[in-house]
Chains A and B, each alone.
Chain A
Amino acid sequence: MTVQNKRVSILPDMTIPVLICDDSSFARKQMARALPENWDVSLSYAQNGVEAMDILRQGAAEVLFLDLNMPEMDGYEVLETVRKEDLNTMVIVVSGDIQQEAHKKVISLGAMDFIKKPVHKEEIHNILNEYGILQLSDKKLEIQDEEKVDNFDFFQELANVSMGRGIDLLSKLLDVYIPMPIPKVSHVEISDLCMTLKEVDHNDELTPICQGFIGTGIAGEVLLLFNKVKNEDVAALMNYSGEQNDVVALELLMDIASVLSGACLNGLTEQLDLAFSLGSPRVLGQHVKMDDLLQNKESNRWTKTLAIEMGFEVEKSELQCNLIMLFTEDSLLKLNHLVEYLN
């Protein structure tokens, strides 16, 4: 028996208890704001699966908006437990991992629907309507504002969604499922970057590819570090059957790189409503010696800035990749401004 079959009906004029479960305070806020304004519901929040299960077991949530990638207990585990314990709730998954596989998996685990982050008001409205749970009242839905979202939390969510876009497109390109990593957002100093670059220089197994991007007020560079690239692996992944050599493999790798960074940037565009132009990708250290590059760095154009980092592996191959998105120091101004605006 699936969960949605158990829902008989909601009595008219009954306030529906709704639970939003997401580890990001920014995402919880965004979700709450996307709900229809006159929807007759009472809202509660959970920061992870464990908290959500407590509330669900008390029967205090008829509708659950559920994130997938969370610490403690993730969305998949929540779905499994809900099913096992036969709890009466309607689950709508709201996810940054938008790969087909993730979608299929949550539906098979009993979720009613699957919404891509970032959520849009209209989409939520349509889904609620479709399932007949949109009870409107005269009251305006009151969102008790949680704590103010801090900048870091906002960047984290920005990163989750953007990287989710990148992973999804890459999985489509290569036709494989890529386990969604949780991107790491951090402030980096110039010395951190220099250390990374030095490491790249000393490690023959790394192929570094760089691609610059720029939009109004926000710019930076995406650095992709491919580890242990084997020509035949890349050719097989890209379904390439022609002659194999280093140049061809590098070109294929560049294709992979620009799809990845292009998709990540599209994710940013969607969330920030800002279009980016993307430069042509280039292999780092091929023409400019890393030492010279480092020396220029040390002559110091910036000191501290924002970085998003994510490492992932491609199934059925040994290909590993680390993606680092580095913003310019100037971009921080605009990014911080955006947080204020969205708060």
Chain B
Amino acid sequence: MEDVGKIDVHDLHWMMDMIQSIDVGLVVLDADYNVQVWNGFMENHSGNNSAQVLGNNLFKLFPYIPKDWFERKVNSVFLLKSQSFSNWEHRPYLFKFKNYRPITGSTEHMYQNVTFIPLITTSGEITQIGIMIYDVTDTAVNRMELEKANKQLERLSRTDRLTNLNNRGYWEECLENEYQRCARTKRHSSLLMFDIDHFKKVNDTYGHQAGDEVIRVVSKTLLDTIRATDIAGRYGGEEFAVLLIDTDQEGALLVAERLRKAIEATVVTYEDTEIRFTISLGIAEYNDNIESHTAWLEQSDKALYQSKESGRNNSTIYK
């Protein structure tokens, strides 16, 4: 391994040429952090040519490099003769290089992955370390954009377009999770379901667009009434469902009544017509006898049905 044979001056020349022109930053430091090698990539991106840099202390040259962090990385290379790495996701860059592409550059600085390697002398000691700086700006930008797009997609796939409430599919997922959480933690949440009384009449009398406006107003009133931790969803056309986290049935009834009264007092004006309407509500608190999340849903649905039976515009607790 050691014996690579004679390297001729000519060979050395082209090897140096490659080191100089490779599109990766190459730096060699001695034990006191003085720069020993500074290749073309480093010259070009930093704007400091080797004459200005060689022999000088890294922290004097680049005071923004966090010394504690850097020393920790480098110490393990010196002491343990082991490689260490820095990833752009934890630390965007080691050297702050400005983005140099006026057209395709979309970030302020270059994102870098960095590898620190021990440079072992023929006698087996480490007196220098090598640093390789990879420009991963494109990867970083792609990944960040992808993540942003994924987040947006996820949000869109969970949301009901008309009301911005959770859609039925996602809300049911939440219900299942909450059911399991209650079963596990023995903390009691309540399930509140309600629908708009005689909604068909609103649609038939004033048209679908008026109906949509009514649904939007109900959703907004709902969000204004519940806490940020409660989970509201549009369950069907004019049917809504809310998970009231860590709330017993009495607490849920207070919320229901507050919402019912707020809706009763609401007037929706659509094309100069005033529309008034009411809602009917049903409540079911979690208990250990409920066998599944669908059973829980059925209970609140039954309570809602009772509210309808007993004349609408009221709230019923499942018994």
Interface centre among B76, B79, B81 (most CB of A within 10 A): B76
Q: Is the interface of A mostly helix, strand, loop or mixed?
A: helix
**Cross-chain contact A255 with B72 (CB below 8 angstroms):** yes
**Cross-chain contact A259 with B84 (CB below 8 angstroms):** yes
Question: How distant is the Cα of A247 from the Cα of B82 in the complex, in angstroms?
Answer: 22
Which residues 232-271 of A sit at the B interface, judged by CB distance below 8 A? 238, 240, 242, 247-248, 250-251, 254-255, 258-259, 262-263, 266
Interface presence of A214 (CB below 8 A): no
Contact partners of A251 in chain B: CB under 8 A: 86-87, 90-91
**Cross-chain contact B82 with A254 (CB below 8 angstroms):** no
**Cross-chain contact A247 with B90 (CB below 8 angstroms):** yes
Bitwise interface map of B from 170 to 184 toward A, beta carbon under 8 Å scored 1, else 0 = 000000000000000
**Cross-chain contact A172 with B84 (CB below 8 angstroms):** no
Interface centre among B80, B82, B143 (most CB of A within 10 A): B82
How close is B25's CB to chain A, nearest CB, in angstroms? 15
Which residues 75-120 of B sit at the A interface, judged by CB distance below 8 A? 76, 79-87, 90-91, 113, 115
Contact partners of B291 in chain A: CB under 8 A: none
Interface centre among A172, A251, A263 (most CB of B within 10 A): A251
Which residues 127-182 of A sit at the B interface, judged by CB distance below 8 A? 169, 172-173
Give chain A's interface residue range (CB within 8 Å of chain B).
20 to 34
How close is B100's CB to chain A, nearest CB, in angstroms? 24
Interface presence of B158 (CB below 8 A): no
Contact partners of B80 in chain A: CB under 8 A: 169, 172-173, 259, 262-263
- Among residues of A, the one whose C-beta sits closest to the C-beta of B143 is A287
**Cross-chain contact B82 with A281 (CB below 8 angstroms):** no
**Cross-chain contact A255 with B90 (CB below 8 angstroms):** no
Contact partners of A262 in chain B: CB under 8 A: 80, 82-83
Give chain B's interface residue range (CB within 8 Å of chain A).
20 to 34
**Cross-chain contact B143 with A259 (CB below 8 angstroms):** no
Interface presence of B68 (CB below 8 A): yes
Interface presence of A125 (CB below 8 A): no
**Cross-chain contact A259 with B113 (CB below 8 angstroms):** no
Interface presence of A280 (CB below 8 A): yes
Interface presence of A282 (CB below 8 A): yes
Question: How distant is the Cα of A251 from the Cα of B87 in the complex, in angstroms?
Answer: 8
Known: A172-B80, A259-B76. A254 touches B68 (CB 8 A): no
Contact partners of A169 in chain B: CB under 8 A: 80, 82
**Cross-chain contact B72 with A238 (CB below 8 angstroms):** yes
Q: Enumerate the 3 nearest inter-chain pairs by beta-carbon distance, A residue then B residue, closest first.
A: A262-B82, A251-B90, A280-B85
24 A-B residue contacts at CB 8 Å?
A169-B80, A169-B82, A173-B79, A238-B72, A240-B72, A248-B90, A251-B86, A251-B87, A251-B91, A254-B87, A255-B76, A258-B82, A259-B80, A259-B84, A262-B82, A262-B83, A263-B82, A266-B81, A278-B83, A280-B85, A280-B87, A281-B87, A282-B87, A287-B147
